[in-house]
Structure 1
């Protein structure tokens, strides 16, 4: 969440965003601990009254400390010169503080994914930690020489400095190379809890505030006259956004579902039935040919996302004009924004059709309300439960806005799309059969241009390679691959190759996020 106007005296931590993919997740975890956390980009540190905050956290970044601009270093100097305010540096923040205080940072010592760290000195920051713990790393540089007067608290299994403690102007500065904010750092939340306690931060942030924030985003538009168009797809994000819009803005909210031909097998019919049962019966627009004809032959996924965003905007433009509407509501969440480079300093990983893919002309022509833009998926689900949204929507697996278009690698063809659709349905069916589908974050199949020689019906057959992807996560910012029983994988493979004539090989993806993303493109 951003905005320095949100402040609880004695109970607010400022998270300085240097463009890391997890900056908002730091704030998310702190709020989970009952601490109000607000975010500001490093470019605004010079204008902020730092004395208002109980503590400051410096985030990670896609940048290198060795190649950064002077404003970055100046922001760190200003933060460290403020006496009395405890500071925690995370990843890039760890390196930035070390360099600012006279340490040495070098390249060529990157660590990615799960890494073991060993505590070399006991400190209250690590209360509740064992001598060795798993953490999540995602860095290319490292601190090769700690700054004068600092103490090394932990090192990684690769010998990299993993944590520092620095006494500075009457207060303590901590830095960690790993990411305590991600769920895959096993004791990460305990570390953040310890830091907040050591900083003396009061716990006055309550979870009911999530819903108040969502409502407040829509209350801004109460005075906008005329119908309101709410984009729905059946996912929890768009369903919650539409439900809150209906509650705040009334029956003038019209849910609209655009069938772009990229949904899962049988999904449109099922979603329409379920939405209608909740009182959100959508206007359904069959635009399959429109989208698929534009996507045919397109190789680049970013171009596909742009095309889908453009076509969505054109479709909704027609609806808005036909209904005489000025306000458009969509279920954008924070992972959508951060991976689209939609924050001031974040690096773009992917453009999402409802963020970076939404053309500027649409936002200039209409008012766009995004009531969930500060929330993560688990928070959205919590709001859904508060609203009484049926479990069908709350527990559904996340599904990308561009749909199956981002699960077809290489040249986009209708044939590959249908292979992907059928294989994904089989993956879900097998997991559901074994009671595993609800235990994972996402489960789907991917198809690319690669072919594999096989034998079907005693004849040589060259078919597609299907990659099965099943992951565990809590917020989509990090993910680990699921380890199903081999018998389940065998069942998935056999059913896919038996049911889909054009598939001769099934593989399983065993890479975490990062370095991979959950979706292939």
Structure 2
């Protein structure tokens, strides 16, 4: 075991970001809903209370018996700070106007460890509609801004702090220093959460858990499943059996390229061409959820059929990562829904298998760091995320082999162009969408009435939020020209300039 920080989630949109910032300090942390979290143990070094979209003055607002936790260092952020103050007899009031955006610390008491090396004028990010107007007697103001008298406080004689700004967002320029002060200096947490140590510990734990048992795993060619498979392979060698299914909805030549990339990794991978099974199941379906369900159902059927050719399998390996785990539990209680495109729903029960998920404590960037520690090639670790249903949710409307061909050709021109122009690594995810729209065009002296495709490229840290990429006009013009000239059936190209939120990265 290692030292850990508990993050109690009150529903803030930034809670995962708090955890990411703590992990960047090489300190292990866990997110748990405020309403049900594990009892702190000998490895717990401190507790962070997140923000919330709620007001502490609302009836039924998230509440917590904080005094039970006060033998540990505590940092309350925004709602967490207001809740701490209110529970100790302070006053929280509605702000005259919502305090949102950049502010500067106008006074800092650097005598306190939380604010060491943070200077007056440091920019912070505010996001709250309430404010602390009166502190309890034993609370000391340690920072303010021009508009907020209590930007930060400390409880006398206790390592308990509250701040009414968000240190986890990049707009708080000294936010990482503040979190380091709390996590490392105040809590004394060991900075030993590194990729090399994770690999060493995980391989040892997998060996103990799996022994001589056989594990079957579905691969996609993506980062998560590849890193998970490599870890399991290091633990049990030839007892790992991998299956890579061609659902007919992969990118152009992806089936062959992925199998080739796995050859040098020593993984025992079997490629299965099941295109016709998927096309038959998708025939006539237009609703996105119906398509997802059909793709998932056929995958289970094909995977189950292939897995049964392996005798005495006891485990199903999965590339589930920490955001999937967090998102499957709501703040107010266990959620009934788990993201189907990350978890092979129904397979463990259908095949009577136990599940092994070696990455379920890691964020995406941590998975890549572990992959580098395992010396997995950049052509796998640097791959953009690709949806589980593949091109099935990038073809709006019904799916046919001809539509798949068109979109594969368009996508290949777009992705190849990004790579050739050194733009691929600047983009989190890119792809093309075939729209259920035909438009008038002119080619030569002929009038055409053909398909419209949309190009999409976004930047993101983890897919939770995303901004559209300002690709060079020259690149977009060249890509559009190539697509229209080379892909039969397309006569118009558009570029998606919407961000998430309010839009999503994928169209379906």
Shared fold per TM-score greater than 0.5: yes
Following superposition, the deviation at residue 67 of structure 1 comes to 6.7
**Which residue does the alignment assign to 1:146?**
132
Render the CA deviation track for 1:202-240: whole Å, top value 9, x for unaligned.
433240332145325523532363x42121121122122
**Which residue does the alignment assign to 1:40?**
32
3-state SS of 1:483 partner: coil
Following superposition, the deviation at residue 515 of structure 1 comes to 4.2
Structure 2: runs of 5+ lacking an equivalent: none
**Which residue does the alignment assign to 2:278?**
291
Render the CA deviation track for 1:240-275: whole Å, top value 9, x for unaligned.
222222221121211110111111111111111121
The CA distance in 1 between the partners of 2:352 and 2:219, in whole Å, is 20
Task: Give the number of equivalent residue pairs.
Answer: 495
The CA distance in 2 between the partners of 1:213 and 1:478, in whole Å, is 32
- Return the index of the structure with the highest Cα Rg: 2
TM-score (normalised: structure 1) = 0.80
Structure 1: runs of 5+ lacking an equivalent: 1-5
**Which residue does the alignment assign to 1:3?**
none
Rate the CA distance shift 1:31–1:497 in 2: closer, same or farther, 3 A.
same
Q: Tell me which of 208, 221, 228 is aligned to 2:209.
A: 221
Render the CA deviation track for 1:425-470: whole Å, top value 9, x for unaligned.
1111111121221232222122333454433334444444433222
1:236 is aligned to 2:223: yes
The CA distance in 1 between the partners of 2:356 and 2:456, in whole Å, is 33
Render the CA deviation track for 1:12-67: whole Å, top value 9, x for unaligned.
4211134556544433321321323233332235x624897443112355777677
Rate the CA distance shift 1:443–1:333 in 2: closer, same or farther, 3 A.
same
Q: Tell me which of 6, 30, 39 is aligned to 1:14.
A: 6
Q: Tell me which of 309, 314, 319 is aligned to 1:326.
A: 314
TM-score (normalised: structure 2) = 0.82
Render the CA deviation track for 1:458-496: whole Å, top value 9, x for unaligned.
444444443322223343344333222221122222222
Rate the CA distance shift 1:309–1:36 in 2: closer, same or farther, 3 A.
same
The CA distance in 1 between the partners of 2:456 and 2:432, in whole Å, is 6
The RMSD of aligned alpha carbons is 3.9
Rate the CA distance shift 1:120–1:51 in 2: closer, same or farther, 3 A.
farther
The CA distance in 2 between the partners of 1:117 and 1:323, in whole Å, is 61
3-state SS of 1:323 partner: coil
The CA distance in 1 between the partners of 2:324 and 2:342, in whole Å, is 8
Deviates more, 1:414-423 or 1:230-239: 414-423
Render the CA deviation track for 1:290-330: whole Å, top value 9, x for unaligned.
22332344444344333333322222222232212221112
**Which residue does the alignment assign to 1:489?**
476
1:438 is aligned to 2:429: no
Q: Tell me which of 19, 43, 47 is aligned to 1:27.
A: 19
The answer to whether the 8 Å contact 2:432/2:456 transfers is yes
**Which residue does the alignment assign to 1:205?**
192
The answer to whether the 8 Å contact 2:103/2:123 transfers is yes
The CA distance in 2 between the partners of 1:166 and 1:245, in whole Å, is 47
**Which residue does the alignment assign to 2:436?**
449
Rate the CA distance shift 1:82–1:273 in 2: closer, same or farther, 3 A.
closer
The answer to whether the 8 Å contact 1:54/1:199 transfers is no
**Which residue does the alignment assign to 1:257?**
244
Following superposition, the deviation at residue 191 of structure 1 comes to 3.6
